[in-house]
Chain A
Amino acid sequence: MAVLANSASEGGRAEKPILSREPNRFAAALREAAFTGLVSFGLFLPLIGFETVTNIRDELILRTRWPLLAAFVFIAAGGRFFYSFALAPWLARRAQKPVKPAAAWRGHFKKWFVPFAIGFVIAYPVIVILVTGWGGALKWIDNFGIQILIYMMLGWGLNIVVGLAGLLDLGYVAFYAVGAYSYALLAKNFGLSFWVLLPLAGILSSFWGILLGFPVLRLRGDYLAIVTLAFGEIIRLIIINWTALTNGYAGIISIPRPSFFGIPFNANDNGFAARFGLEFSPLYRVIFLYYIILALGLLTCFVTVRLRRLPVGRAWEALREDQIACRSLGINTTNTKLTAFAMGAMFAGFAGSFFAAREAFISPESFTFIESATVLSIVVLGGMGSQIGVAIAAIVMIGGTEILRQLNFLKEIFGATFDPTQYRMLLFGLALVLIMIWRPRGLIATREPSVFLKKRKAISVDLVQEGRG
């Protein structure tokens, strides 16, 4: 409507058409708002309008919450009115403006972003200690740094399977679990060190990847997704029920922690702090763990970037584009899929053994489907196949949920019983929906070619297939 009005005014017929359309727009927005209010009233009436509470005689009674219901309906209707009356015309006007050519700073930004980001993550613990002091640093390094890096690494690992090879894997957490239990059991029962078990856990995980892959990879698309989903659950159920080995729901406690070249991080005389003449602080171990997971994460990223430029990486991407064409060119698709599966599983195994070593306690609770879903949404939100996209998505998703724990001021607004972390999944879902509307193919929606003759041109993701297994 605004577009029509604009073009009319350009035609030189004064501003009359705009004025005459103004009430129309107001009325239309009001109508839409009323309709939205009606729908939200119907929706929220049973959800918000009524509440069941137990009274003192242990009876269930129905209570009504009319003011709250009215507030919800009013917010929905008001939001719709704002959108229709102000936001939508503004967006339409903005869409009319010509797109500006990419500014020069973008090129510089692209060039310097990766070195800067790597420098920042390396300096992160120092920055945090400088900003928050020794007392507050633990939280920021452990809860933010390490937690985000674990998921970033898992995201990069799954990106090989989903983003490059186009195989939808809904049971990625199974390989994470295999890595974690491999480390926990072998370290506890045989006393092997973290550095021996880290590669071993990776190998065992990728072995499971291959074992699963053989029967499963002949399936395609949705069928593959369902079987991998089932596999994730099977591993979890085995861990729960094989109590003789895994101690079931109770989990495995006091798993040995990694040491600094044989020096443990404890308060004893031969501990890390005493040896180096420092005052004991749990922070040293956390910083050490931070750098381990950082190194593992960077290794994952480096290997993936490298693999993309090798024939196997190109074959993965070709497989995602067209499997039949791959076979006509002499590519053994089964083996190629298996390598993608094994490679992704190996990185999950590394991450799993690190997780076990960091927590010193693991139980089946840590390996539920929601973990697979989180990692998968990191990959999808980031933009399938994009390393930087996955990193950004991991920071936003995991950092975001951790931030929720820190928002204590909300308690002063909503009362002491308000726990922002309970809204985690709600916000998580909302973020997913919004990003899928605005950027249906993820945050980074271009594909970088692996090789070029004259000029490297980013490929629009519209041409790139998503892969059907």
Chain B
Amino acid sequence: MAREGSPVLRVEHLTMRFGGLVAVDDLSFEVQSGAITALIGPNGAGKTTVFNCITGFYKPTEGRIALRRGAPAVWSALEGLTDSGKRGLVRPDGALFLLERMPDYLVAQQARVARTFQNIRLFSGMTVLENLLVAQHNPLMLASGYTLLGILGFPSYASAERAALDKARSWLDRFGLIDRADDPAGELPYGAQRRLEVARAMCTDPVLLCLDEPAAGLNPRESAELNEILLRICDECDISILLIEHDMSVVMNISDHIVVLDYGVKIAGGAPDEVRNDAKVIAAYLGVADEEVAQVEASVGL
């Protein structure tokens, strides 16, 4: 189960304030390469805010979010990069990016962090296939010579588009959506829309995949299928997964590491078994103070 490696993402002293509200307070954690890390916590704990900071949708008030690609040795350049004021550096053996300095689209384009959304955001009026082609926008744009070669009908674009279609087809196959490829995304049933969103994110060739409640609204069978798919892509595609989830069957079964947030503060972190028995975590989920846990558990018959 344990897929250990060096960290691919390092979040250090992340703080996000909205006016007087501290949504995330001095949060530090790491995502190990090739592993599945879960971010859990009660409603309003600040999980999605952390996601928005990592993916560049919010600019954090304080803190450093660093992402590595390639050899672990590039971590040695982190302090130098931070002092230089640049967004990232690319070396022959790997690359390092400071995500808090990058706008959202560059986080996806250069640092290769893909994400899904809590409320599904598909291009509902476009077909399933088109959704996956939009995800491959940047390489296709390059192949079409920023539209110029494409509009003149150069063969280089045609071959790039064929390759993109093949890639889309292979992802549709894996997620069992190939029969719906030509249907509009908005017509798919809910579970299929969730899977399509993950497939679309995977089409961007991510290093880190951030899933915001991928199992929300799925029935137990669908969520078991999702578990299997996530474990498989994590093994096969050399990516790391960071996920927010409320469904404990998903969290406990597939994650290697769990970070628990409550009111923006990290209250626990570790392997699923440690977290499951942590008194602070139980208290936070029951919504009571630590010392009252035993009493509440007794009263509900645990």
Interface: A328 (CB within 8 A)? yes
Q: Are A325 and B182 in contact (CB under 8 A)?
A: no
- Docked complex Cα distance between A93 and B140 (Å): 53
When the two chains form their complex, are residues B186 and A453 in contact, meaning their CB atoms are under 8 A apart? no
Q: How far is the CA of A306 from the CA of B181 in the complex (A)?
A: 22
The reply on A357 being an interface residue by CB < 8 A is: no
The answer, yes or no, to whether A241 is at the interface (CB within 8 Å) is no
Question: Is B298 on the interface with A (CB-CB < 8 A)?
Answer: no
Residues of B within 8 A of A320 (CB): 125
CB–CB B126/A317 < 8 A = yes
Closest Cβ neighbor of A302 among chain B residues: B151
Docked Cα-Cα span, A457 to B127, in Å, equals: 9
Choose among B121, B124, B144, B201 the residue that contacts A310 (Cβ–Cβ < 8 A).
B144
The closest CB in chain A to the CB of B121 belongs to A325
Instruction: Check if B108 sits within 8 Å of A330, measured CB to CB.
Output: yes
Interface string of B101-126 (1 = CB under 8 A from A): 00011101100001101000111111
* A400-439 interface with B by 8 A CB criterion: none
Among A307, A315, A447, A460, the residue within 8 A (CB) of B137 is A315
- Rounded to whole Å, the gap between the CB of A346 and the closest CB of chain B is 13
Interface string of A305-327 (1 = CB under 8 A from B): 01100111011011011101111
A303 interface contact, C-beta 8 A: yes
User: Is B55's beta carbon under 8 Å from chain A?
Assistant: yes
Number of residues in B with C-beta < 8 Å to the partner?
A: 45
Q: Is the CB of A452 within 8 A of B123?
A: no
For window 292-351 of chain A, which residues contact chain B by CB distance below 8 Å? 303, 306-307, 310-312, 314-315, 317-318, 320-322, 324-333, 339
Task: Tell me whether B151 and A317 are in contact (CB under 8 A).
Answer: no
Question: Which of A303, A322, A333, A461 sits near B123, CB closer than 8 Å?
Answer: A322
The answer to whether B108 touches A452, judged by C-beta atoms less than 8 angstroms apart, is no
Tell me which of A303, A306, A322, A328 contacts B108 (CB under 8 A).
A328
Decide: B117 and A329 in contact? CB cutoff 8 A.
no
Chain A positions within 8 Å of B109 at CB level: 330, 332
Interface pairs (11), CB distance under 8 Å: A311-B133, A318-B134, A320-B125, A328-B57, A328-B104, A328-B117, A329-B134, A330-B108, A447-B125, A449-B126, A454-B181
The 3 closest A-B pairs by CB, nearest first: A464-B125, A330-B109, A330-B108
Chain B interface (Cβ within 8 Å of chain A)? 55, 57, 104-106, 108-109, 114-115, 117, 121-127, 129-130, 133-138, 140-141, 144, 146-147, 150-151, 157, 165, 169, 178, 181-184, 186-187, 200-201, 204
